Amino acid sequence: MRVDEVAAPQTVAEALAILKRRPDAVPWAGGTLLMTVESAAFGDKPASLLDLGGIAELTVINRSDRYLELGACVSLSAILALPRSLSLEPLRGAAGLVGTASVRNLATIGGNVAARGSFMTCFSALACMDAAMEIRDASGSRWSSIHTLVDEDGRPRFPRAALLTRIRVPTAPWDAASVHPLGMAPRGEAYPATFAAAARFEKETISELRLLAAGKRLVRDRALELSLVGKRLPLSAKDVDAARSAARDEAIEAELGAGPASLYGTYVASFLASIQEEGR
């Protein structure tokens, strides 16, 4: 990446004014993805950077009874340092999978969610948790579901000339949650896709279930989830096996790669088997 110009706004309003003048300016948060994987996409073209590091309001963490609100520039280390009493799985587990401790000190949650090329590790966890995103651009500010950042083809679609400013994560506890990297990254991808799952039970019955994988594309089989919601625990071996095959087939169709797709099926099956025990 050849840097042509750097703007260092102190407020979100200033950053938006710069983006209005230079819609091609590239938001720079921790820079850990831009300096590595995304840098190649710029080639030798001069890039204009919008450094978000001086905007204090983007590093605020707020808590209410029902939500945790994270400024987009909150680091992954700061998320991992939040009290264990706060119900944050599977996000906490996903944040812990990213890089090393020194990478996580720089890496922000906003940079993880707003990555352009692939869904990064925290995306599947936040999608499981139905997180909401505050996105601001020249036309104003709006809250929308994280699912609006996925296009019809299951690929990332973060809007151009826009800033992710806050992420609202519901903190109602899940009875079971899980997150795992899906093996080695396939050729052409820097990081492996990530499996994330969460479930709630009521009276030994599955009342809510999320099963996802996210890499180049997001894989979520709502028909499979719905077929399992309402089932009594423990699930039959037949149901668990059918879920493994359905999940694997869905991931193959989404071109996650044969290895990750098969691992995804295995994690779906082992998550469903584990909730049999916990739900009893």
Ligand X SMILES: Cc1cc2nc3c(=O)[nH]c(=O)nc-3n(C[C@H](O)[C@H](O)[C@H](O)COP(=O)(O)OP(=O)(O)OC[C@H]3O[C@@H](n4cnc5c(N)ncnc54)[C@H](O)[C@@H]3O)c2cc1C
Length of the chain: 280
Return all residues near 152 (Cβ < 8 A) that are at least 6 apart.
none
Nearest approach, Cβ of residue 137 and ligand X (Å): 10
Q: 157 near 142, Cβ under 8 Å?
A: no
Q: Per-residue DSSP letters for 100-166?
A: -HHHHHH-BHHHHHS-SSS--HHHHHHHHTT-EEEEEETTEEEEEEGGGGB-TTS-B-PPTT-EEEE
Residue list 199-218, contact with ligand X (CB under 6 A):
none
Residue 191 engages ligand X in binding (rule: CB under 6 A): yes
Cα–Cα distance between 202 and 250 in angstroms, integer? 28
Nearer to ligand X, 116 or 155 (CB): 116
Q: With CB under 6 A as the contact rule, which of the stretches 85-93, 100-108, 227-235, 244-252 interacts with ligand X?
A: 100-108
Nearer to ligand X, 123 or 201 (CB): 123
Binding flags for ligand X, 108-147, as an x/- string (CB under 6 A): x-xxx-xxx---xx--------------------------
Nearest approach, Cβ of residue 59 and ligand X (Å): 11
The packing angle between helices 258-279 and 237-253, to 10°, is 150
Residue list 7-66, contact with ligand X (CB under 6 A):
26-34, 36, 38, 52
Nearer to ligand X, 224 or 256 (CB): 256
Residue 163 engages ligand X in binding (rule: CB under 6 A): yes
Q: Per-residue DSSP letters for 79-108?
A: HHTS-TTS--TTHHHHHHHSS-HHHHHH-B
Nearest approach, Cβ of residue 16 and ligand X (Å): 11
Cα–Cα distance between 236 and 220 in angstroms, integer? 22
Q: With CB under 6 A as the contact rule, which of the stretches 102-110, 140-148, 247-255, 257-265 interacts with ligand X?
A: 102-110
Helix (H) or strand (E) holding 240: helix 237-253
Nearer to ligand X, 92 or 244 (CB): 92
Residue 176 engages ligand X in binding (rule: CB under 6 A): no
Nearest approach, Cβ of residue 196 and ligand X (Å): 12
Burial-class residue 56 by CB neighbours within 10 Å (0-12, 13-18, 19+): exposed
Footprint of ligand X (CB under 6 A): 26-34, 36, 38, 52, 72, 76, 97-99, 103, 106-108, 110-112, 114-116, 120-121, 163-164, 191
